Structure 1
Amino acid sequence: MPCNLTGRFAALIGAVALALPAILLAGEVSLTGEGSVKYTPDSARLQFTAASEHKSADKATGAVNEKITAWNEAVSEYKARMEDYSDASLTLYTRNLPVGERNEKPEQRAVASQSVSFVIKDMTLLNPLISAAQKLGMEYNLGAHQFFHSDENGLHQQALGRAIADARGRCAFVAGELEKTCGEIKTINVNGGGRPVPMMMAETRSDKGAVSEVGPREIQISVSATFELD
Protein backbone atom coordinates (compact mmCIF):
# COMPACT_ATOMS: atom_id res chain seq x y z
CA MET A 1 0.00 0.00 0.00
CA PRO A 2 2.75 2.59 0.87
CA CYS A 3 4.54 1.71 -2.36
CA ASN A 4 1.34 2.30 -4.31
CA LEU A 5 0.89 5.78 -2.73
CA THR A 6 4.48 6.60 -3.44
CA GLY A 7 4.00 5.65 -7.05
CA ARG A 8 0.88 7.83 -7.38
CA PHE A 9 2.62 10.78 -5.76
CA ALA A 10 5.56 10.44 -8.13
CA ALA A 11 3.18 10.31 -11.08
CA LEU A 12 1.42 13.47 -9.87
CA ILE A 13 4.74 15.29 -9.47
CA GLY A 14 5.67 14.24 -12.98
CA ALA A 15 2.39 15.50 -14.43
CA VAL A 16 2.81 18.88 -12.74
CA ALA A 17 6.39 19.10 -13.96
CA LEU A 18 5.22 18.47 -17.52
CA ALA A 19 2.45 21.07 -17.21
CA LEU A 20 4.62 23.86 -15.82
CA PRO A 21 6.41 24.66 -19.09
CA ALA A 22 3.05 24.92 -20.85
CA ILE A 23 1.75 27.32 -18.17
CA LEU A 24 4.82 29.50 -18.45
CA LEU A 25 4.81 29.44 -22.23
CA ALA A 26 1.18 30.54 -22.31
CA GLY A 27 2.38 34.01 -21.20
CA GLU A 28 -1.00 35.77 -21.25
CA VAL A 29 -2.95 38.03 -18.96
CA SER A 30 -6.64 38.97 -19.26
CA LEU A 31 -7.94 42.11 -17.59
CA THR A 32 -10.35 45.02 -17.96
CA GLY A 33 -9.87 48.71 -18.59
CA GLU A 34 -12.23 51.60 -17.94
CA GLY A 35 -12.50 55.02 -19.53
CA SER A 36 -14.85 57.97 -19.15
CA VAL A 37 -15.42 61.46 -20.51
CA LYS A 38 -17.37 64.20 -18.76
CA TYR A 39 -19.06 66.91 -20.82
CA THR A 40 -21.91 69.39 -20.89
CA PRO A 41 -24.54 69.08 -23.67
CA ASP A 42 -24.31 71.83 -26.27
CA SER A 43 -27.39 70.90 -28.34
CA ALA A 44 -31.07 70.04 -27.91
CA ARG A 45 -33.89 68.36 -29.82
CA LEU A 46 -37.05 70.37 -29.19
CA GLN A 47 -40.73 70.00 -29.98
CA PHE A 48 -43.55 72.45 -29.33
CA THR A 49 -47.21 71.68 -29.97
CA ALA A 50 -50.10 74.03 -30.69
CA ALA A 51 -53.49 72.52 -29.79
CA SER A 52 -57.10 73.68 -29.90
CA GLU A 53 -60.48 72.15 -29.18
CA HIS A 54 -63.86 73.30 -30.55
CA LYS A 55 -67.27 72.02 -31.61
CA SER A 56 -66.30 72.89 -35.16
CA ALA A 57 -63.37 71.08 -36.75
CA ASP A 58 -62.73 74.10 -38.98
CA LYS A 59 -62.50 76.44 -35.99
CA ALA A 60 -60.24 74.08 -34.06
CA THR A 61 -57.94 73.77 -37.06
CA GLY A 62 -58.06 77.52 -37.71
CA ALA A 63 -57.01 78.28 -34.13
CA VAL A 64 -54.04 75.95 -34.48
CA ASN A 65 -53.04 77.53 -37.78
CA GLU A 66 -53.09 80.96 -36.12
CA LYS A 67 -50.80 79.76 -33.33
CA ILE A 68 -48.35 78.21 -35.78
CA THR A 69 -48.30 81.40 -37.84
CA ALA A 70 -47.72 83.46 -34.68
CA TRP A 71 -44.96 81.06 -33.64
CA ASN A 72 -43.16 81.39 -36.98
CA GLU A 73 -43.31 85.15 -36.69
CA ALA A 74 -42.07 85.13 -33.09
CA VAL A 75 -39.03 82.95 -33.87
CA SER A 76 -38.24 84.26 -37.35
CA GLU A 77 -34.93 85.76 -36.21
CA TYR A 78 -33.81 82.33 -34.91
CA LYS A 79 -34.96 80.21 -37.86
CA ALA A 80 -31.59 80.24 -39.61
CA ARG A 81 -30.04 78.58 -36.55
CA MET A 82 -32.64 75.81 -36.28
CA GLU A 83 -31.71 72.53 -37.95
CA ASP A 84 -33.99 69.76 -39.23
CA TYR A 85 -37.00 72.05 -38.82
CA SER A 86 -40.38 70.40 -39.44
CA ASP A 87 -43.99 71.45 -38.83
CA ALA A 88 -45.60 68.58 -40.75
CA SER A 89 -46.99 66.85 -37.65
CA LEU A 90 -50.70 67.75 -37.83
CA THR A 91 -53.49 65.73 -36.23
CA LEU A 92 -57.28 66.13 -36.03
CA TYR A 93 -59.65 63.85 -34.15
CA THR A 94 -63.01 63.92 -32.37
CA ARG A 95 -63.64 63.12 -28.73
CA ASN A 96 -66.78 62.79 -26.64
CA LEU A 97 -67.24 64.92 -23.54
CA PRO A 98 -68.27 63.14 -20.33
CA VAL A 99 -72.03 62.91 -19.80
CA GLY A 100 -73.93 63.47 -16.57
CA GLU A 101 -76.78 61.06 -17.25
CA ARG A 102 -76.64 57.51 -18.58
CA ASN A 103 -79.00 58.14 -21.49
CA GLU A 104 -77.62 61.60 -22.28
CA LYS A 105 -76.12 61.97 -25.74
CA PRO A 106 -72.40 62.85 -25.49
CA GLU A 107 -71.27 66.14 -26.95
CA GLN A 108 -68.50 65.86 -29.50
CA ARG A 109 -65.47 68.11 -29.77
CA ALA A 110 -62.91 68.37 -32.52
CA VAL A 111 -59.31 68.39 -31.28
CA ALA A 112 -56.61 69.74 -33.60
CA SER A 113 -52.89 69.88 -32.92
CA GLN A 114 -49.74 70.64 -34.85
CA SER A 115 -46.16 70.20 -33.69
CA VAL A 116 -42.95 71.89 -34.71
CA SER A 117 -39.69 70.04 -34.11
CA PHE A 118 -36.09 71.03 -34.69
CA VAL A 119 -32.55 70.85 -33.37
CA ILE A 120 -30.54 73.72 -31.91
CA LYS A 121 -26.76 73.67 -31.53
CA ASP A 122 -26.65 77.06 -29.87
CA MET A 123 -27.94 76.75 -26.33
CA THR A 124 -28.43 80.52 -26.03
CA LEU A 125 -31.56 80.00 -28.15
CA LEU A 126 -33.17 77.66 -25.62
CA ASN A 127 -34.81 80.14 -23.26
CA PRO A 128 -35.99 82.61 -25.96
CA LEU A 129 -37.71 79.73 -27.77
CA ILE A 130 -39.29 78.44 -24.57
CA SER A 131 -40.51 81.95 -23.80
CA ALA A 132 -42.08 82.29 -27.26
CA ALA A 133 -43.86 78.95 -26.87
CA GLN A 134 -45.16 79.84 -23.42
CA LYS A 135 -46.61 83.15 -24.62
CA LEU A 136 -48.57 81.30 -27.29
CA GLY A 137 -49.74 78.59 -24.91
CA MET A 138 -47.90 75.85 -26.78
CA GLU A 139 -47.25 72.54 -25.08
CA TYR A 140 -43.76 71.13 -24.63
CA ASN A 141 -41.73 68.81 -22.45
CA LEU A 142 -38.07 69.00 -21.55
CA GLY A 143 -36.28 65.83 -20.47
CA ALA A 144 -32.69 64.72 -20.08
CA HIS A 145 -32.89 62.70 -23.33
CA GLN A 146 -33.47 65.87 -25.36
CA PHE A 147 -30.06 67.34 -24.58
CA PHE A 148 -26.95 66.01 -26.29
CA HIS A 149 -23.49 66.96 -27.53
CA SER A 150 -22.88 67.76 -31.18
CA ASP A 151 -19.77 65.54 -31.22
CA GLU A 152 -20.92 62.54 -29.21
CA ASN A 153 -19.13 60.15 -31.60
CA GLY A 154 -15.86 61.91 -30.82
CA LEU A 155 -16.58 61.74 -27.09
CA HIS A 156 -17.28 57.99 -27.35
CA GLN A 157 -13.94 57.53 -29.11
CA GLN A 158 -12.17 59.48 -26.37
CA ALA A 159 -13.76 57.31 -23.67
CA LEU A 160 -12.89 54.13 -25.58
CA GLY A 161 -9.31 55.32 -26.07
CA ARG A 162 -9.00 55.94 -22.33
CA ALA A 163 -10.41 52.49 -21.57
CA ILE A 164 -7.84 50.85 -23.85
CA ALA A 165 -5.04 52.95 -22.35
CA ASP A 166 -6.22 51.93 -18.87
CA ALA A 167 -6.10 48.27 -19.89
CA ARG A 168 -2.56 48.72 -21.23
CA GLY A 169 -1.51 50.43 -18.02
CA ARG A 170 -2.87 47.59 -15.92
CA CYS A 171 -1.14 45.06 -18.16
CA ALA A 172 2.16 46.92 -17.74
CA PHE A 173 1.77 46.80 -13.96
CA VAL A 174 0.98 43.08 -13.90
CA ALA A 175 3.85 42.31 -16.27
CA GLY A 176 6.25 44.33 -14.13
CA GLU A 177 5.25 42.40 -11.03
CA LEU A 178 6.01 39.18 -12.92
CA GLU A 179 9.30 40.56 -14.28
CA LYS A 180 7.94 40.51 -17.80
CA THR A 181 6.84 43.08 -20.36
CA CYS A 182 3.38 43.66 -21.76
CA GLY A 183 3.16 42.57 -25.39
CA GLU A 184 0.55 42.74 -28.12
CA ILE A 185 -3.20 42.54 -27.58
CA LYS A 186 -4.51 39.11 -28.56
CA THR A 187 -8.23 39.80 -28.02
CA ILE A 188 -10.27 42.80 -26.97
CA ASN A 189 -14.01 43.28 -26.37
CA VAL A 190 -15.94 46.46 -25.71
CA ASN A 191 -18.36 45.79 -22.87
CA GLY A 192 -21.56 47.61 -23.82
CA GLY A 193 -22.22 50.87 -22.02
CA GLY A 194 -21.16 54.08 -23.67
CA ARG A 195 -24.55 55.75 -23.20
CA PRO A 196 -24.40 59.26 -21.75
CA VAL A 197 -25.35 59.25 -18.07
CA PRO A 198 -26.71 62.45 -16.44
CA MET A 199 -24.67 63.47 -13.39
CA MET A 200 -26.53 65.08 -10.52
CA MET A 201 -29.28 67.39 -11.83
CA ALA A 202 -29.89 67.29 -15.55
CA GLU A 203 -31.47 70.72 -15.53
CA THR A 204 -32.96 73.26 -13.17
CA ARG A 205 -35.65 75.78 -13.93
CA SER A 206 -36.83 79.04 -12.50
CA ASP A 207 -40.49 79.72 -11.62
CA LYS A 208 -41.01 81.06 -15.15
CA GLY A 209 -39.97 77.77 -16.72
CA ALA A 210 -36.64 78.97 -18.11
CA VAL A 211 -33.75 76.53 -18.02
CA SER A 212 -31.02 77.90 -15.79
CA GLU A 213 -28.59 74.99 -16.11
CA VAL A 214 -28.13 71.82 -18.10
CA GLY A 215 -26.19 69.42 -15.91
CA PRO A 216 -23.04 67.56 -16.95
CA ARG A 217 -23.06 64.10 -18.49
CA GLU A 218 -20.57 61.26 -18.45
CA ILE A 219 -19.81 58.57 -21.02
CA GLN A 220 -18.39 55.41 -19.43
CA ILE A 221 -16.90 52.54 -21.43
CA SER A 222 -15.08 49.39 -20.32
CA VAL A 223 -13.07 46.86 -22.32
CA SER A 224 -11.89 43.31 -21.68
CA ALA A 225 -8.51 42.52 -23.19
CA THR A 226 -6.03 39.69 -23.30
CA PHE A 227 -2.34 40.62 -23.68
CA GLU A 228 0.73 38.57 -24.40
CA LEU A 229 3.43 38.65 -21.74
CA ASP A 230 6.97 38.74 -23.15
Structure 2
Amino acid sequence: MNGRNRNPRLLLTLALSVPALAMAGEVTLTGEGSVRYEPDSARLQFTASAGHELPQKATERVAALMDQWREGITEYRARLDDYSDATVNLYTRTLPAPERGEEPRKQAVASQTISFSISDLTLLNPLLQQAQALGLDYHLGPQQFFHSDETGMEQEALARAIADARARCRFVAGQLDQSCGEVVSININGGHRPVPMMMAEAKSISDTVSSVGEREIRASVSATFELD
Protein backbone atom coordinates (compact mmCIF):
# COMPACT_ATOMS: atom_id res chain seq x y z
CA MET A 1 0.00 0.00 0.00
CA ASN A 2 1.23 3.53 -0.80
CA GLY A 3 2.60 5.23 2.36
CA ARG A 4 0.76 8.45 1.62
CA ASN A 5 -2.63 6.80 2.28
CA ARG A 6 -1.77 4.87 5.45
CA ASN A 7 -3.70 7.23 7.80
CA PRO A 8 -6.71 8.76 5.98
CA ARG A 9 -8.45 9.61 9.29
CA LEU A 10 -5.56 11.88 10.30
CA LEU A 11 -5.56 13.62 6.91
CA LEU A 12 -9.32 14.23 7.13
CA THR A 13 -9.00 15.71 10.63
CA LEU A 14 -6.30 18.13 9.50
CA ALA A 15 -8.27 19.21 6.45
CA LEU A 16 -11.33 20.04 8.50
CA SER A 17 -9.36 22.07 11.04
CA VAL A 18 -7.68 24.43 8.56
CA PRO A 19 -10.72 26.72 7.94
CA ALA A 20 -11.36 27.00 11.69
CA LEU A 21 -7.79 28.14 12.23
CA ALA A 22 -8.11 30.73 9.44
CA MET A 23 -11.26 32.23 10.96
CA ALA A 24 -9.90 32.31 14.49
CA GLY A 25 -7.80 35.42 13.74
CA GLU A 26 -10.67 37.68 12.63
CA VAL A 27 -13.48 39.61 14.26
CA THR A 28 -16.59 41.12 12.62
CA LEU A 29 -18.43 44.00 14.29
CA THR A 30 -20.42 47.15 13.58
CA GLY A 31 -19.67 50.82 14.06
CA GLU A 32 -22.05 53.80 14.25
CA GLY A 33 -21.58 57.54 13.84
CA SER A 34 -23.82 60.60 13.71
CA VAL A 35 -23.67 64.35 13.10
CA ARG A 36 -26.24 66.88 14.33
CA TYR A 37 -26.82 70.21 12.63
CA GLU A 38 -29.34 72.93 11.86
CA PRO A 39 -30.22 73.67 8.21
CA ASP A 40 -28.83 76.93 6.84
CA SER A 41 -30.70 77.04 3.50
CA ALA A 42 -34.22 76.60 2.10
CA ARG A 43 -36.02 76.02 -1.19
CA LEU A 44 -39.23 78.05 -1.37
CA GLN A 45 -42.19 78.17 -3.72
CA PHE A 46 -45.12 80.61 -3.80
CA THR A 47 -48.14 80.80 -6.10
CA ALA A 48 -50.12 83.89 -7.05
CA SER A 49 -53.61 83.11 -8.30
CA ALA A 50 -56.77 85.01 -9.26
CA GLY A 51 -60.13 84.18 -10.80
CA HIS A 52 -62.55 86.05 -13.07
CA GLU A 53 -65.26 85.28 -15.57
CA LEU A 54 -62.99 86.61 -18.30
CA PRO A 55 -59.57 84.92 -18.79
CA GLN A 56 -57.94 88.25 -19.64
CA LYS A 57 -59.12 89.79 -16.36
CA ALA A 58 -57.84 86.83 -14.35
CA THR A 59 -54.47 87.14 -16.06
CA GLU A 60 -54.33 90.87 -15.37
CA ARG A 61 -55.06 90.34 -11.69
CA VAL A 62 -52.22 87.83 -11.38
CA ALA A 63 -49.88 90.17 -13.24
CA ALA A 64 -50.75 92.93 -10.74
CA LEU A 65 -49.95 90.60 -7.82
CA MET A 66 -46.62 89.71 -9.43
CA ASP A 67 -45.73 93.37 -9.85
CA GLN A 68 -46.41 93.95 -6.14
CA TRP A 69 -44.35 90.89 -5.22
CA ARG A 70 -41.37 91.98 -7.31
CA GLU A 71 -41.53 95.48 -5.87
CA GLY A 72 -41.82 94.16 -2.32
CA ILE A 73 -38.72 91.94 -2.58
CA THR A 74 -36.49 94.45 -4.37
CA GLU A 75 -33.99 94.65 -1.51
CA TYR A 76 -33.73 90.83 -1.29
CA ARG A 77 -33.80 89.94 -5.00
CA ALA A 78 -30.00 89.74 -5.47
CA ARG A 79 -29.78 87.19 -2.63
CA LEU A 80 -32.36 84.77 -4.04
CA ASP A 81 -30.69 81.88 -5.85
CA ASP A 82 -32.14 80.07 -8.88
CA TYR A 83 -35.00 82.53 -9.00
CA SER A 84 -37.85 81.86 -11.44
CA ASP A 85 -41.36 83.28 -11.79
CA ALA A 86 -42.03 82.39 -15.43
CA THR A 87 -44.40 79.47 -14.79
CA VAL A 88 -47.91 80.64 -15.70
CA ASN A 89 -51.07 78.54 -15.79
CA LEU A 90 -54.58 79.40 -17.01
CA TYR A 91 -57.57 77.10 -16.67
CA THR A 92 -61.36 77.15 -16.25
CA ARG A 93 -63.20 75.81 -13.24
CA THR A 94 -66.93 75.28 -12.64
CA LEU A 95 -68.47 76.94 -9.60
CA PRO A 96 -71.61 75.62 -7.86
CA ALA A 97 -74.85 77.31 -8.80
CA PRO A 98 -75.68 80.08 -6.30
CA GLU A 99 -79.36 79.11 -6.27
CA ARG A 100 -81.21 75.86 -6.91
CA GLY A 101 -82.26 75.57 -10.53
CA GLU A 102 -79.63 78.00 -11.79
CA GLU A 103 -76.84 76.99 -14.12
CA PRO A 104 -73.37 76.49 -12.63
CA ARG A 105 -70.99 79.34 -13.41
CA LYS A 106 -67.61 79.00 -15.04
CA GLN A 107 -64.60 80.97 -13.93
CA ALA A 108 -61.17 81.46 -15.45
CA VAL A 109 -58.30 80.99 -13.00
CA ALA A 110 -54.81 82.28 -13.69
CA SER A 111 -51.81 81.40 -11.55
CA GLN A 112 -48.10 82.12 -11.57
CA THR A 113 -45.49 80.18 -9.60
CA ILE A 114 -42.44 81.72 -7.94
CA SER A 115 -39.54 79.48 -6.90
CA PHE A 116 -36.06 80.13 -5.53
CA SER A 117 -33.65 79.09 -2.80
CA ILE A 118 -32.01 81.08 -0.02
CA SER A 119 -28.69 80.44 1.71
CA ASP A 120 -29.43 82.96 4.47
CA LEU A 121 -32.38 82.01 6.67
CA THR A 122 -32.66 85.55 8.04
CA LEU A 123 -34.48 86.26 4.75
CA LEU A 124 -37.17 83.69 5.50
CA ASN A 125 -39.56 85.72 7.64
CA PRO A 126 -39.45 88.92 5.54
CA LEU A 127 -40.23 86.87 2.43
CA LEU A 128 -43.04 84.98 4.18
CA GLN A 129 -44.55 88.22 5.41
CA GLN A 130 -44.48 89.66 1.91
CA ALA A 131 -46.20 86.55 0.54
CA GLN A 132 -48.80 86.64 3.31
CA ALA A 133 -49.56 90.31 2.68
CA LEU A 134 -50.33 89.56 -0.99
CA GLY A 135 -52.27 86.37 -0.26
CA LEU A 136 -49.85 84.08 -2.08
CA ASP A 137 -50.23 80.36 -1.54
CA TYR A 138 -47.32 78.33 -0.17
CA HIS A 139 -46.43 75.37 2.00
CA LEU A 140 -43.57 75.35 4.47
CA GLY A 141 -42.37 71.89 5.48
CA PRO A 142 -39.23 70.18 6.82
CA GLN A 143 -38.26 68.86 3.39
CA GLN A 144 -37.70 72.40 2.14
CA PHE A 145 -34.83 73.07 4.53
CA PHE A 146 -31.31 71.74 4.02
CA HIS A 147 -27.67 72.41 4.82
CA SER A 148 -25.29 73.76 2.21
CA ASP A 149 -22.68 71.12 3.12
CA GLU A 150 -24.80 68.01 3.69
CA THR A 151 -22.34 65.91 1.65
CA GLY A 152 -19.54 66.87 4.01
CA MET A 153 -21.69 66.00 7.01
CA GLU A 154 -22.57 62.61 5.55
CA GLN A 155 -18.84 61.95 5.14
CA GLU A 156 -18.19 63.07 8.73
CA ALA A 157 -20.87 60.69 10.04
CA LEU A 158 -19.33 57.85 8.02
CA ALA A 159 -15.86 58.69 9.32
CA ARG A 160 -17.18 58.51 12.88
CA ALA A 161 -18.82 55.14 12.17
CA ILE A 162 -15.53 53.73 10.85
CA ALA A 163 -13.65 55.14 13.86
CA ASP A 164 -16.24 53.55 16.16
CA ALA A 165 -15.79 50.16 14.47
CA ARG A 166 -12.03 50.36 14.87
CA ALA A 167 -12.37 51.38 18.54
CA ARG A 168 -14.61 48.37 19.17
CA CYS A 169 -12.09 46.15 17.44
CA ARG A 170 -9.31 47.44 19.73
CA PHE A 171 -11.50 46.76 22.77
CA VAL A 172 -12.30 43.19 21.67
CA ALA A 173 -8.67 42.49 20.78
CA GLY A 174 -7.53 43.80 24.17
CA GLN A 175 -9.90 41.42 25.96
CA LEU A 176 -8.22 38.58 24.06
CA ASP A 177 -4.67 39.83 24.67
CA GLN A 178 -4.31 40.57 20.97
CA SER A 179 -4.17 43.68 18.79
CA CYS A 180 -6.53 44.94 16.09
CA GLY A 181 -4.98 44.51 12.65
CA GLU A 182 -5.86 45.32 9.05
CA VAL A 183 -9.39 45.57 7.67
CA VAL A 184 -10.38 42.40 5.83
CA SER A 185 -13.71 43.72 4.52
CA ILE A 186 -16.13 46.56 5.23
CA ASN A 187 -19.78 47.14 4.32
CA ILE A 188 -21.26 50.64 4.44
CA ASN A 189 -24.93 50.73 5.39
CA GLY A 190 -27.38 53.40 4.26
CA GLY A 191 -27.70 56.69 6.15
CA HIS A 192 -30.80 57.80 8.06
CA ARG A 193 -32.22 61.31 8.48
CA PRO A 194 -34.97 61.67 11.09
CA VAL A 195 -37.65 64.27 10.40
CA PRO A 196 -36.73 67.45 12.32
CA MET A 197 -39.03 69.18 14.78
CA MET A 198 -40.07 72.61 13.56
CA MET A 199 -42.75 75.24 14.03
CA ALA A 200 -46.10 74.93 12.31
CA GLU A 201 -46.66 76.63 8.97
CA ALA A 202 -46.96 80.39 9.19
CA LYS A 203 -50.45 81.41 8.02
CA SER A 204 -50.91 85.05 8.92
CA ILE A 205 -48.81 88.16 8.70
CA SER A 206 -48.11 88.03 12.44
CA ASP A 207 -46.67 84.50 12.28
CA THR A 208 -42.92 83.96 11.98
CA VAL A 209 -40.59 80.98 12.05
CA SER A 210 -38.11 81.16 14.90
CA SER A 211 -36.37 77.82 14.36
CA VAL A 212 -36.36 75.11 11.72
CA GLY A 213 -35.17 72.48 14.21
CA GLU A 214 -32.14 70.26 14.52
CA ARG A 215 -31.40 67.35 12.20
CA GLU A 216 -29.21 64.29 12.48
CA ILE A 217 -27.34 62.24 9.90
CA ARG A 218 -26.48 58.69 10.93
CA ALA A 219 -24.15 56.18 9.33
CA SER A 220 -23.23 52.60 10.20
CA VAL A 221 -20.68 50.11 8.92
CA SER A 222 -20.02 46.40 9.34
CA ALA A 223 -16.30 45.59 9.28
CA THR A 224 -14.11 42.53 9.62
CA PHE A 225 -10.65 43.02 11.13
CA GLU A 226 -7.66 40.74 11.52
CA LEU A 227 -6.58 39.97 15.07
CA ASP A 228 -2.81 39.91 15.56
**TM-score band, normalised by the shorter chain?**
0.7 to 0.9
Aligned to 1:178: 176
CA distance in 2, matches of 1:189, 1:18: 30
TM-score, normalization by structure 2: 0.87
Greater CA drift, 201-210 or 85-94: 201-210
Q: Unaligned stretches of 5+ in structure 2? A: 1-8
Paired residue for 2:167? 169
**Is the 1:159–1:219 Cα contact (8 Å) retained in structure 2?**
yes
Contact kept in structure 2, 1:204 and 1:214, CA below 8 Å: no
2:195 to 189, 194, 198: 198
Q: In the alignment, residue 188 of structure 1 is paired with which amino acid?
A: I
- Alignment correspondent of 1:47: 45
Structure 2 counterpart of 1:22, from 19, 23, 33: 19
Give how far 1:109 is off: 0.5
Matched residue of 2:96: which SS? Answer: coil
CA distance in 2, matches of 1:154, 1:203: 27
Number of matched pairs: 216
Instruction: Report the CA distance between 1:19 and its aligned residue.
Output: 4.4
Tell me which amino acid in the other structure corresponds to 2:199.
E
| Change in 2 beyond 3 A, CA 1:22/1:148 | same
Displacement after TM superposition at 1:69 (Å): 1.1
Q: Cα deviation per residue 1:30-61 (whole Å; 9 max; x = unaligned)?
A: 11111100000100000111010110111111
Tell me which moved more, 99-108 or 44-53: 99-108
The one-letter code matched in structure 2 to 1:76 is T
Amino acid paired to 1:198 = V
* Worse-superposed segment, 94-103 or 42-51: 94-103
Once the two structures are superposed, residues 84-125 of structure 1 have per-residue CA deviations (whole angstroms, 9 ceiling, x without a partner) of 111122111101112368875321101111111100010110
- The answer to whether the 8 A contact 2:140-2:201 is kept is no
AA of the residue aligned to 1:75: I
Which of 60, 63, 67 does residue 62 from structure 1 map onto?
Answer: 60
Show the counterpart of 2:36.
38
Name the SS for the 2:85 alignment partner.
Answer: strand
Rounded to whole Å, the distance in 1 between the matches of 2:63 and 2:180 is 68
Aligned residue for 1:220?
218
Q: Is the 8 A contact 1:36 1:220 kept in 2?
A: yes
1:140 aligns with 2:138: yes
Q: 1:100 to 1:66 in 2, by over 3 A?
A: closer
Q: Which residue of 1 aligns with 2:104?
A: 106
- CA distance, structure 2, for counterparts of residue 58 and residue 100 of structure 1: 24
What is the alpha-carbon root mean square deviation over aligned residues?
2.2
Give the Cα–Cα distance (whole angstroms) in 2 for the partners of residues 184 and 202 of structure 1. Answer: 44
- Determine the C-alpha separation between the residues in 2 that align with 1:171 and 1:23: 20
Q: Residues 147-193 of structure 1, C-alpha deviation per residue, up to 9 Å, x if partnerless?
A: 11010001100000001111111111111112221111122111112
> What's the counterpart of residue 118 of structure 1?
116
Cα distance in 1 for residues equivalent to 2:190 and 2:113 = 35
Provide the rounded CA distance (Å) in 1 between the counterparts of 2:21 and 2:175: 15
Q: Does the 8 Å CA contact 2:89/2:112 hold for their aligned counterparts?
A: yes
SS at match of 1:212: coil
Give unpaired runs (5+ residues) of structure 1: 1-10
Given the two structures, how large is their TM-score scaled by the length of structure 1?
Answer: 0.86
Mapped partners of 2:98, 2:137: distance in 1: 29
